[in-house]
Chains A and B, each alone.
Chain A
């Protein structure tokens, strides 16, 4: 079955700097890669997703890149702000969605 690895587990960046979170997956049949943001005690919220026929997608300060050959995808957040502090989960989907273990992002003032 699918296995999703996510790094780093914790990330601290200065406000205004960029943050990058990386994920790898094992099942080459996976074709949909969403990213979720979860604030403490709340539900995961989809922030961006990418499908296997696209290499990059951008939405304002958030971008995701996908390398199908290497089976890895990354989340990029630019000009980070305090409200970006949260746990971020990557996921990969073939017939079911498998989540990475999460990255706790701290934005330092």
Chain B
């Protein structure tokens, strides 16, 4: 069974731009969660989608948004990028709320 995949793996953007990251969960998994990892704040929850509905949201500004498609693939979008958005963005999938499995991450650098 293929694992969680994330694209792109690396991304360089400049301040003010927007970015879209993609995550394909393990086949059969309907829950997709997104996390941000920075040296200062550690691993923080962004949001979770289940069956195309946002089920929970972390404490991030409205510039961070996401969506889930009918095939469970998910995208997250960050608009008006700031230097502080530079981070490793990790996606996790689970069947319904049990064990979560993570993808390799997208490393975003904002210049």
Task: Answer yes or no: are A and B bound together in one complex.
Answer: no
- Which positions in B face A, CB cutoff 8 Å? none
